[in-house]
């Protein structure tokens, strides 16, 4: 059975491979250590999700990992982010 991007993303998180640099209500920047390489994952309110990996179709597991650990109800990220 093939692992979905969401499941793989959760596994990356559980393995501690996701490092969030910052997360505000307008921008997110994180890195995810994939099987062989470190990928930069970005989100911005204007452009949405982007990942540096070659999986261009749909959402990759790196984006799913970062999304799972950063996305909260819109408007609350900024106040919850550490100073």
**20 belongs to the binding site for Zn ion (CB under 5 A):** no
- CB closer to Zn ion out of 17 and 62: 62
Piece of 22-30, 42-50, 52-60, 64-72 that binds Zn ion (CB under 5 A): 52-60
Among 23, 28, 30, 62, the residue binding Zn ion under the rule CB under 5 A is 62
Residue placing its CB nearer to Zn ion in the complex, 4 or 80 = 4
How far is 64 from 56, CA to CA, in rounded Å?
Answer: 13
Q: What is the dihedral sign for C-alpha 49, 53, 54, 59?
A: negative
13: burial class by Cβ within 10 Å (0-12, 13-18, 19+)?
Answer: middle
Whichever of 16 and 75 has its CB closer to Zn ion, that residue is: 16
Q: Count the helices and strands in the chain (H runs, E runs).
A: 3, 4
What does the block give as tokens for 39?
A: 């990928």
Q: Is 17 in the site for Zn ion (CB under 5 A)?
A: no
Residues of this chain that bind Zn ion (CB under 5 A): 51, 53, 60, 62
């Amino acid at each position: 059975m093939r692992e979905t991007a969401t499941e793989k993303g959760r596994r990356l998180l559980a393995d501690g491979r996701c490092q969030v640099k910052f997360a505000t209500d307008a921008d997110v920047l994180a890195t995810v250590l994939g099987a062989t390489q470190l990928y930069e994952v970005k989100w911005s309110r204007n452009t949405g999700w982007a990942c540096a990996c070659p999986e261009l179709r749909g959402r990759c597991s790196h984006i799913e990992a970062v999304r799972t650990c950063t996305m909260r109800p819109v408007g609350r990220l900024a106040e919850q982010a550490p100073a």
